[in-house]
Amino acid sequence: MDDARDGTTPDQDDAVTEPASDATDAPEDGSSRRGFSRRAVLGGAGAVVGAAALAGGGFAAGRATASPVQLRQYDFHGEHQSGIVTPAQDRMHFAAFDVTTDSRDELIQLLRDWTEAAATLMTGSELGTGIAGGSALAPPDDTGDATGLPASGLTITFGFGPTLFVKDGEDRFGIADRQPAQLAELPHFPGDTLQERLTGGDLCIQACADDPQVAMHAIRNLSRLAFGVASVRWAQLGFGRTSSTTRDQSTPRNLMGFKDGTANLRAEDTDNISKFLWSEAADGQEWMAGGTYLVARKLRILAEIWDRASLGEQEATVGRTKGSGAPLSGGNEFTEPDFTRPGADGTPLIPTDSHVALAHPSANGGAMMLRRGYNYTDGADDLGRLDAGLFFLAFIRDPETQYIPMQTAISSSDAMTVEYVRAVGSAIFAVPPGIPAGATLGGDSGAYIGQGLFT
Ligand SMILES: C=CC1=C(C)c2cc3[nH]c(cc4nc(cc5[nH]c(cc1n2)c(C)c5CCC(=O)O)C(CCC(=O)O)=C4C)c(C)c3C=C
Ligand SMILES: [Fe+2]
């Protein structure tokens, strides 16, 4: 944790760099803002061409004017990886990878390359010699599609799937004995209609930013670095966050039109963050201390059916009002739901089969999770129906106690999930801890993501 942080997100370990000389006023979320950059990095992470050089011959900004949000920049280093308690950005590009090599050394080299590249990308800089600094006989080091764009609050979060440890009974990289008990394959949940091509993965990268082109550029270039070692198994673009992860963020709406994220775990809830988010050495695998687990589920919303439901039915299905997001038992958006308060007919005002009734900690042994999902659309399906929904992302310390029972209850009995939602993709990943501030990246001796797993 760095003292330079402004203190509004006390447990956030990823947002610490001081504003550069071309910065505007620091925003209130612990990030720093810089004038647009995407400057070519000379000689690796950290050595950037200054703003003066940019002004004297740099590239034109890719957006006519950059908003304060797009000028945000988060530090790659931290006790925990960025992109977890970081204030949820508005855009996401997620990719799951199959590792195609049998070589442990090549896998480690990929993690080294990804680490160094992620740290560079998060500063808004180009990779390597950029788009114009390299040999005319070789492809440029950076694809260039984000050249001229600011960092845009980019965070890059890496995860390891169960099949990285053991696949078809084989200990692929000599790490089977390091697979955490928490990283077990998810069970089949009632109603799941999973597609193999949207499920699983040996590795994952979550790139979030406030500019979709910046998030996409990150995944594209990291995938490119993986050539011959890992290939994209599936990917998802998300627009519109469906959660708030800090108190100063407003609650967004999901594609059902409801406020989503009201009762989320937030960075400021430090006691619950320690209890429900971060793994500790005592949890079983020391290399995961400071890490967490990520559940990703692609949940299609049957929009045409939902849109024909009356307002009363929609609200009873969720357990909250559509306008303010208040619980049906009364109060405002942030009033605690009262699941026992009866209505005129004597039954609870919040139906027992509503989403909130089944997802609330009181129905789940007190369990909480940090939700960080996104709205998505893939256009229309073959019948012209909206192909859209919620790309559910949740970070949790122990999936077995905090996620599986809740998902089982929701999938079996929640009116919203049973009637209006179809799970089409699913995956789980171990998200290793971050790299402490000051640690050198790159080369043969630099720190890299997941290093504890291999040493
Ligand atoms: C297994 C966990 C969950 C899945 C899957 C899930 C899917 C899902 N949720 C919505 C919309 C809303 N969810 C809301 C609250 C809420 N949801 C979960 C968990 C899952 N949701 C939790 C733990 C909670 C908080 C419950 C509480 O403590 O009160 C809400 C209400 C607003 C809010 O608190 O965020 C909405 C709306 C959709 C559309 C969806 C899948 C498509
Ligand atoms: Fe939910």
Query: What pLDDT, on the 0 to 100 scale, is given for residue 24?
Result: 36
Instruction: Give a yes or no: residue 60 inside a domain.
Output: no
325 CA: nearest ligand 1 atom: 32
Q: Using CA positions, which residue lies closest to atom 22 of ligand 1?
A: 359
Distance 390 CA to ligand 2 centre (A): 10
| DSSP-assigned letters across all residues of 340-377 | T-B-TTSSBSS-TTSHHHHHSGGGTTT---EE--EEEE
- How many structural domains compose the chain? 1
Nearest to 381 by CA among 303, 296, 298, 307: 303
Q: Using CA positions, which residue lies closest to atom 12 of ligand 1?
A: 260
Distance 410 CA to ligand 2 centre (A): 9
Of all ligands present, the nearest one to the C-alpha of 325 is 1
320 CA: nearest ligand 1 atom: 31
Instruction: Give a yes or no: residue 49 inside a domain.
Output: no
Of all ligands present, the nearest one to the C-alpha of 417 is 1
Instruction: Give a yes or no: residue 159 inside a domain.
Output: yes
Domain span at residue 160?
83-126+144-455
d(CA 241, CA 74): 18
Query: What pLDDT, on the 0 to 100 scale, is given for residue 57?
Result: 32
> Two tokens at 439?
């640690």
Query: What pLDDT, on the 0 to 100 scale, is given for residue 276?
Result: 98
Instruction: Give a yes or no: residue 397 inside a domain.
Output: yes
Of all ligands present, the nearest one to the C-alpha of 328 is 1
Q: What is the identity of the amino acid at 84? A: I
Distance 221 CA to ligand 1 centre (A): 33
Query: What pLDDT, on the 0 to 100 scale, is given for residue 65?
Result: 77
SS3 251: coil
Instruction: Give a yes or no: residue 53 inside a domain.
Output: no
SS3 250: coil
Q: Using CA positions, which residue lies closest to atom 1 of ligand 1?
A: 407
Q: Using CA positions, which residue lies closest to atom 7 of ligand 1?
A: 392
Q: Using CA positions, which residue lies closest to atom 15 of ligand 1?
A: 356
Query: What pLDDT, on the 0 to 100 scale, is given for residue 88?
Result: 97
d(CA 9, CA 25): 17
Give per-10-residue mean pLDDT for the chain (455 aa): 31 38 41 51 30 34 74 96 97 98 98 98 97 95 97 98 98 98 98 98 98 98 98 98 95 98 97 98 97 98 98 98 98 98 97 98 98 98 98 98 98 98 98 97 94 96
Query: What pLDDT, on the 0 to 100 scale, is given for residue 12?
Result: 38
Instruction: Give a yes or no: residue 103 inside a domain.
Output: yes
60: left (phi over 0), alpha (psi -120 to 50) or beta: beta
- Residues having CB closer than 6 A to ligand 1 are 254, 256, 258-264, 297, 299, 301, 318, 320, 355-356, 359-361, 369, 389-390, 392, 406-407, 410, 421
Query: What pLDDT, on the 0 to 100 scale, is given for residue 64?
Result: 65
Instruction: Give a yes or no: residue 54 inside a domain.
Output: no
Instruction: Give a yes or no: residue 26 inside a domain.
Output: no
The strand pair at 91-99 and 421-431 is best described as unpaired
d(CA 87, CA 246): 6
Distance 355 CA to ligand 2 centre (A): 7
Residue whose CB lies within 8 A of the most ligand 1 atoms, among 299, 336, 355, 392, for a mutation test: 355
User: How many beta carbons lie within 10 A of that of residue 280, not counting itself?
Assistant: 13
Q: Using CA positions, which residue lies closest to atom 27 of ligand 1?
A: 360
